[in-house]
Amino acid sequence: MEHDPKLDWPVEMQELFREAIHLWRRFAIEGEMTVDGDLRRVTELETRLDDLLAEDQTGTVAQNLYKRYVKHRDQLLFFLRHPGVQPTNNACESALRPSVIHRKVTNGFRSEGGAKAYAALATVIATAKRQGRLVFDGLVELMGKPVLPFLDTSDP
């Protein structure tokens, strides 16, 4: 059986993105790289990406992925030029997960108002957690002082 070089393209793209994410982590999280070294390495990865996108994948199993990558070329390695931007959307997916589980367990909401109320509450809870605050304190801040004194967490 003859080896088809077009089958290597998806693997090479995957390797490129792994290297790019590793580079981002070293620079953005660990602070190991110098700006000069970072820019040189970013340029190398962008050149490799351009070379890979120059290989037409029409008629291969990667055709749809190839078209999407060509269309969004400018955004594929955006996180390397802007270290504050995450390379993945894992944080967004993690934030949405409780809502998805709630929807599956309850089989959805019975009204649009219920869905909106749940979304608002979930947003307040997620924001309080991201800010490192107690969720209860965030809710109290929005709704006012608790009616029952034993629920009050503020100092006397």
Same domain for 97 and 75? no
Same domain for 75 and 101? no
CA–CA gap between residue 156 and residue 29 (Å, rounded): 41
- Name the band, by pLDDT with cuts 50, 70 and 90, for residue 130: confident
Cα separations (Å) of 104 from 2, 21, 146?
A: 47, 33, 32
Q: Is pLDDT at 156 greater than 70 in this prediction? A: no
Higher-scoring residue by pLDDT: 45, 101: 45
pLDDT of 32 reads: 65
Same domain for 26 and 77? yes
pLDDT of 141 reads: 80
Same domain for 75 and 11? yes
Q: Does the residue 21 lie in any domain?
A: yes
Answer yes or no: are the C-beta atoms of 24 and 45 closer than 8 Å: no
Same domain for 33 and 57? yes
Domain span holding position 116: 90-151
Same domain for 110 and 57? no
pTM of this prediction exceeds 0.85: no
- pLDDT tens string 37-74: 778 888 999 999 999 999 999 888 899 999 999 999 99
Total count of domains within the chain: 2
- Name the band, by pLDDT with cuts 50, 70 and 90, for residue 26: confident
Mean pLDDT over 115-143 rounds to 83
Residue 45 CB partners (closer than 8 Å, separation 6+): 16, 19, 20, 23, 77, 80
- Of the candidates 46, 81, 116, which is a domain's last residue? 81
- Of the candidates 25, 60, 81, which is a domain's last residue? 81
